[in-house]
Amino acid sequence: MVAVDSGMTRFAHKLAEQSMSLRRARPEILQVNVGKLCNLTCVHCHVNAGPKRKEIMSRNTIDRIIDWLAKTNVPTVDLTGGAPEMIPDFRYFVERVKDLEPLRHVIDRCNLIILVEDGYHDLAEFLAARQVEIIASMPCYSAKNVNQQRGEGVFEGSIAALQLLNSLGYGIDPALPLHLVYNPVGEFLPSPQEELEADYKRELEKHFGIVFNQLYTITNLPIGRFAASLRHRNRLDEYMQLLIEAFNPATIEGLMCRNTISVGWRGEVYDCDFNQQLGMQWNNSDRSQMFLWDVNPDSLEDRKILTGDHCFGCTAGAGSSCGGAIT
């Protein structure tokens, strides 16, 4: 057992107890959060995104990110938000990444409903033509649960969007992967990913003729709008306790913060999108704020990851990452 410092967070304490530390491996994914603008206002949102948010990435920042990427071999660019497709330069960003050598893989984290909103009807075709992988939120295969978490009518719109994606080859053509994301509707851990995936596949195909590749189960982290909702209902401490008790050391190696660089709408850098929402930005050695263009990708291995008690959301049970369960 390692001696622990009483000033540590409970998460740091837990790692020390297990003689573990959380450090970076080689960066393989650049996850860019292009802003907080979204067409929805989901109750579980950790970004506090919504239609009135003004924080979005400018073209100048996109150009600086592309210049940085061009000097690296980071193979995957993962676009998230808000609804990333709503920023005016979303398509410009995708096109510029796709023009890079060596070729890069692009992921769009899509809330589905945006694909059937007015003004976005050609978006799905644009994504298919550029072979952009889609990772789409779909918190349940039942209308009641989806509409409760994401708003009235979202389920019906999501089904129409999935049918549109299937008609373009998404989920069928290996070059057009379509993955769905499940997150619990309340303050509990996700069910086992494989079982839930089988349920989703059966129900969506049976009732709507929809097919997709994989289901990713993601735990709700106690930050942002979800934390506010728990606090409001006096359930925050109970949920934290649930996450702490479910700590699973086998998840540590596969945590997404180990191989992902998270970038905010101004180009600032973090260990993950959750740290981003908590303002846990990287600093330069002179303590000034670090932006992506200050980062030497070859110097990141073994860099210590900034953690807090919210990290228990990623290490609970089977673990949780942008690619679903870890173990």
Q: Which DSSP category does 191 fall into? A: P
- Provide the minimum distance between the beta carbon of 246 and ligand SF4 in the complex, in angstroms, as a whole number: 14
- Provide the minimum distance between the beta carbon of 210 and ligand SF4 in the complex, in angstroms, as a whole number: 19
Calpha distance 40→51 (Å, rounded): 7
Instruction: Decide whether 96 or 320 has the Cβ nearer to ligand SF4.
Output: 320
Instruction: Decide whether 137 or 166 has the Cβ nearer to ligand SF4.
Output: 137
Q: Which conformational region is residue 106 in: left (phi greater than 0), alpha (psi within -120 to 50 degrees), or beta?
A: beta
Residues lying near ligand SF4 in the complex (CB under 6 A) are found at 38, 40-42, 45, 47, 49, 81-83, 111, 137, 255-257, 271-272, 274-275, 305, 307, 310-311, 314
Instruction: Decide whether 214 or 321 has the Cβ nearer to ligand SF4.
Output: 321
- Provide the minimum distance between the beta carbon of 322 and ligand SF4 in the complex, in angstroms, as a whole number: 8
Instruction: Decide whether 47 or 318 has the Cβ nearer to ligand SF4.
Output: 47
Calpha distance 134→261 (Å, rounded): 19
272 in Cβ contact with 262 (< 8 Å): yes
Residue linked to tokens 């400018």: 58
109 in Cβ contact with 84 (< 8 Å): yes
Instruction: Decide whether 96 or 260 has the Cβ nearer to ligand SF4.
Output: 260
End-to-end CA distance of the chain: 25
154 in Cβ contact with 40 (< 8 Å): yes
- Provide the minimum distance between the beta carbon of 241 and ligand SF4 in the complex, in angstroms, as a whole number: 18
Written as six digits, the tokens of 170 are: 């998404």
Written as six digits, the tokens of 106 are: 């692009």
Q: Which residues face 50 on adjacent strands?
A: 37
- Provide the minimum distance between the beta carbon of 36 and ligand SF4 in the complex, in angstroms, as a whole number: 8
Chain CA centroid to CA 291, Å = 20
Instruction: Decide whether 96 or 239 has the Cβ nearer to ligand SF4.
Output: 239
- Provide the minimum distance between the beta carbon of 305 and ligand SF4 in the complex, in angstroms, as a whole number: 5
